[in-house]
Amino acid sequence: MWAQPTGYQEYYVLGYEEHVWRAFLAINDGSDYQIEAGQICSTVSLVATADYQVIYYDHWEDGYEADLLNPTQATTVVYGDGNVENGGSGDDILHAGDAIDFLSTQNVTGPDALNGYVPVNPYRNPTDLRYDGGDRIITSGGPVNLTHAMWPLDNSWVGGAWEVPSRQTYATATSYRIPIGSDLYTFGGGDTGTYGDFRNVYLQLSAFEDNTTVSIRQPSGEAINFTLDRGETYSSMGYINSMTAPAIEITVGTTVRASKPTQAGLITGADGSFQGRFLTILPDQLWGADYVIPAPSGASGQEAEIYLANPNDFEITITARDRFTQTTFSISPTTYISATIPYGPKRGGLLPAGSATRFTSPDGRFGVIVCANSSYANYDWGFAGMPAQYLSRDYYIPWAPGSYNTPPTENGSPVWVTPLRDQTTFYVDFYRPSVGLDGVVDESFTLDVLEQRRIFDPDNDNTGMHIWASGEFATAWGPDPLTAEPSVPYLDLGVGGLPVHHQWLELVLQLEKT
């Protein structure tokens, strides 16, 4: 086993439900009462990565705690401190792999007719307390793996999820270059073109501190400016939380500059009854020059497309390898729309099932975006590639059910893994709700570079799964076209795997009191 770091991490849940609902409306090509109803199912889920962690959960609706480590508001819950009076169950002691799912149906105030969903039409009413975007979490004793998933009403086949890094991950990150944009859709020839996944591109940007000034600028020169307070979220559709704000089209190469660290995600849409993907975007300084990427693909016509983006003002050369081919090509400087390219045309076709990919460049950093089942409404999910320098040998899998049912009765959404080096041996301990992780290896296998494997927990819920290996590896969770059916109760969403790093922890947490 690999020792987990200690310390503090702070999180603000990415994704404001009202903005997500508006994006769903814009993306949907037809009429869908489940979207139009204006009620979003929100799941904020976290998994402990060390024994005896303590987790503090603070709702935004009634104002943040002045000192979350010493809460005074009745709505704040604490897990893992041995006190069930303020949250938790049993002995209220957390162990590695323990999952806490905060559903929008828990501890709900307001009219019963809302049925616990997050009400967003005509706007998000702060008097309705929910577990949702903008909430604040602090964990002591180690980090957590945090996911925020959303879909309208009971339609889990229309939705998305973001993996949510900690504030410490973004410690000095104040700039983003958006690697995709809606102009790529037209540039590539529309729905059937090489950028058919990006007809709609909407930005979610949230702040960790008060008085964060933000400037967003398109390559064409159009720019907007605004200010965010901590926990507030800006939508490029023209909103800060529920208030109107300047709108801007997100085109490829759009830059975001802020006076303080921020976190960002994208909601993309394309043609079809509903085709949408949620993508967590890394800030410029976290991009890398070496990536290994699990490629979630199925049969012919169900392949993933991988997009590579050059943020530099000079041309870079990429060497790309998969199990079937190797190729080298150049990417234009960021001043060109072709600074973002799809991998498929470079290799002569979309990547077949069963192969991961590796991308390296001797020239500079670049970004990687994965769109599963590119240009199709089924199995449409995605994630941002994690640079090899940040990969870990040890992961605890956050919210990862095999289907919408509770408990899941199917497992159409496995965990995907691929190693950084040859002869990497993997070990898997499946989480059992009654006993947790028992430290017994339930599954073991060895992979070489460019090989990948799907891991299915036999109880149909991959949440809390512990995977460790003899070398670094990349992970993702999401639907498998070879297993899942294209309808409810399967989940049409997924996330990339976040590693645990000492550099993304604070030994002493500095709290901002307002």
For position 351, what pLDDT does the model report? 87
Q: Of 37-51, 270-284, 335-349, where does mean pLDDT reach its minimum?
A: 270-284
358-377 confidence digits (pLDDT tens): 999 999 999 999 998 876 77
The pTM for the full model equals 0.94
pLDDT above 80: residue 86: yes
Adjacency order of strands within the sheet including 305-309: 340-342, 305-309, 367-371, 382-384
Domains of the chain, by residue range, sit at 7-53+94-507
Instruction: Give the separation between CA 426 and CA 467, rounded to whole angstroms.
Output: 7
Q: Of 27-41, 45-59, 302-316, 454-468, where does mean pLDDT reach its minimum?
A: 27-41
Length of the chain: 514
**How many Cβ atoms sit within 10 Å of the Cβ of residue 353?**
17
| Range picked from 73-87, 187-201, 237-251 for highest mean pLDDT | 237-251
Does residue 173 contact residue 226 with C-beta atoms inside 8 Å?
no
Q: 106 pLDDT band (50/70/90 cuts)? A: low
Q: In the structure encoding, which two tokens stand for residue 127, read together?
A: 């008097």
List Cβ neighbours of 292 (8 Å cut-off, separation of 6 or more).
Answer: 356, 357, 358, 388, 391, 418, 419, 420, 449, 473, 474
Percent of the chain with pLDDT over 70: 93
For position 110, what pLDDT does the model report? 44
Q: In the structure encoding, which two tokens stand for residue 360, read together?
A: 């390296």
Q: 91 pLDDT band (50/70/90 cuts)? A: very high
Mean pLDDT, rounded, for 5-34: 87
Secondary structure of 7-42 in HEC code, one letter for each residue:
CEEEEECCCCHHHHHHHHHHHCCCCCHHHHCCEEEE
For position 509, what pLDDT does the model report? 55
pLDDT above 80: residue 60: yes
- Exposed, middle or buried: residue 104 (CB in 10 Å: 0-12, 13-18, 19+)? buried
For position 222, what pLDDT does the model report? 96
The contacts found for 445-450 with CB under 8 angstroms, 24 or more apart, are 447/417, 447/418, 447/419, 448/419, 448/422, 448/423, 448/424, 449/292, 449/356, 449/358, 449/418, 449/419, 449/420, 449/421, 449/422, 450/321, 450/322, 450/323, 450/355, 450/356, 450/357, 450/358, 450/418
Mean pLDDT, rounded, for 8-22: 96
Q: Of 147-151, 171-175, 202-206, 252-256, where does mean pLDDT reach its minimum?
A: 171-175
Q: 507 pLDDT band (50/70/90 cuts)? A: low
Q: 1 pLDDT band (50/70/90 cuts)? A: very low
Mean pLDDT, rounded, for 472-490: 91
pLDDT above 60: residue 3: no
- What count of Cα atoms within 13 Å lies in the side-chain half-sphere of residue 488? 11
Does residue 52 contact residue 141 with C-beta atoms inside 8 Å?
yes
For position 196, what pLDDT does the model report? 86
pLDDT above 90: residue 63: yes
Mean pLDDT of all residues belonging to the chain: 90
Cα 232 from chain centre: 18
For position 204, what pLDDT does the model report? 99
Q: Which of 178, 150, 137 is nearest to 15 (CA)?
A: 150
pLDDT above 70: residue 506: no
For position 111, what pLDDT does the model report? 41
Mean pLDDT, rounded, for 436-459: 97
For position 500, what pLDDT does the model report? 78
pLDDT above 70: residue 305: yes
188-199 confidence digits (pLDDT tens): 888 878 898 999
For position 4, what pLDDT does the model report? 47
For position 105, what pLDDT does the model report? 66
Answer positive or negative: Cα dihedral of 32, 34, 37, 39. negative
Instruction: Give the separation between CA 169 and CA 165, rounded to whole angstroms.
Output: 6
Is the model more confident about 502 or about 512? 502
For position 29, what pLDDT does the model report? 76
Q: 228 pLDDT band (50/70/90 cuts)? A: very high
For position 404, what pLDDT does the model report? 86
Mean pLDDT, rounded, for 493-513: 72
Mean pLDDT, rounded, for 220-245: 98
For position 403, what pLDDT does the model report? 92
Is the model more confident about 335 or about 54? 54
| Range picked from 75-89, 114-128, 394-408, 412-426 for highest mean pLDDT | 412-426
123-152 confidence digits (pLDDT tens): 888 888 899 999 999 999 888 999 999 998
